[in-house]
């Protein structure tokens, strides 16, 4: 039986839609075959380069998630989206040339158990998710964090340090990803202050740099922490999906946000 395509979702200016996709380790073979049929030959080749089955499955699921979710915002079939990469690997939409895709952008992140896809129109954005049940790499804090971040983390009781580590890590990744430049941005050239319980302070070492970025932090499951960086103070709408199977709205509380505390000057020295 022919199934009607779902109605297109409105994406008002100022909204960021976050799509959460629970990530199983292996797929149902019939569903995987449907998924594979929607990927390009290059994507299938890329998938087969992964050594482990779980990575091949994650690659397939991620591509399908992006293609099927983008098709909720424009009258384009999942297999027809085209993508290009920026100079530092940030993927972006490259077609088809339709008015409905003007300004449409996405960023995604994956970790054990979850993929997160952020979609917006006319907003620069970056998203990061981490599984907070994995061990925090506390011995590498001086390498990854700005001195003010490392100092505030070290001042916490030992039991609170892993959670703070993941808060800082996801926030830093979200900023790097919104800028699209990867680790070209030195990790100590910007810093977060998380001293107030629900706020996020942000500052750049360069006093002339643009520090007008907005951050939000969410904990969509007890195992996962998400940070979102955006060029505007966005309203977030969350949905959960298994691509081509089901989708539903999801209530996710914002645990921290820039708007709760004004930007605080933290000299990242």
Binding region for ligand COA (CB under 6 A) = 62, 88-91, 107-110, 126, 128, 144, 169, 172-173, 176-177, 180, 182-183, 187
CB of residue 241 to ligand COA, shortest distance in Å: 17
Smallest separation, CB 172 to ligand COA (Å)? 4
Angle of CA points 74, 254, 88, to nearest 5°? 55
CB of 7 to ligand COA, least distance (A): 27
SS3 47: helix
8 Å CB contact between 201 and 217 = no
Contact 220, 252 (CB under 8 A): yes
**Considering the complex, what minimum distance in angstroms separates the CB of residue 82 from ligand COA?**
15
Report the nearest approach of ligand COA to the CB of residue 5 (Å): 25
Q: Is 85 helix (H, G, I), strand (E, B) or coil?
A: strand
**First-to-last C-alpha distance (Å) of the chain:** 63
How buried is 264 (Cβ within 10 angstroms: 0-12 exposed, 13-18 middle, 19+ buried)? middle
């Amino acid at each position: 039986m022919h199934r009607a395509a779902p109605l297109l979702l409105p994406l008002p200016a100022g909204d960021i839609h976050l799509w959460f996709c629970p990530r199983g380790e292996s797929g149902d073979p019939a569903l995987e075959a449907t998924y594979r049929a929607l990927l390009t030959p290059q994507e299938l080749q890329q998938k087969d380069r992964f050594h482990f089955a779980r990575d091949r499955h994650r690659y397939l699921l991620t591509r399908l998630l992006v293609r099927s979710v983008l098709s909720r915002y424009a009258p384009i079939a999942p297999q027809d989206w085209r993508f290009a990469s920026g100079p530092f690997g940030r993927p972006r939409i490259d077609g088809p040339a339709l008015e409905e895709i003007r300004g449409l952008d996405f960023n995604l992140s994956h970790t054990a158990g979850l993929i997160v896809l952020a979609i917006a129109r006319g907003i620069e954005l970056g998203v990061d998710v981490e599984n907070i049940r994995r061990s925090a790499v506390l011995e590498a804090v001086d390498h990854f964090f700005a001195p003010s971040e490392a100092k505030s983390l070290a001042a916490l009781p030992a039991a609170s340090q892993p959670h703070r580590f993941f808060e800082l890590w996801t926030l830093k990744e979200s900023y790097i990803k919104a800028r699209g430049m990867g680790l070209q941005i030195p990790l100590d050239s910007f810093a977060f202050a998380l001293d107030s319980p629900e706020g996020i302070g942000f500052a750049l070492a360069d006093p002339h740099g643009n520090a007008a970025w907005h951050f939000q932090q969410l904990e969509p499951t007890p195992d996962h922490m998400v940070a979102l960086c955006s060029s505007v103070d966005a309203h977030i709408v969350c949905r959960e999906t298994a691509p081509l199977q089901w989708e539903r709205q999801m209530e996710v509380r914002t645990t921290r946000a820039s708007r709760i505390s004004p930007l605080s000057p933290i000299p990242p020295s």
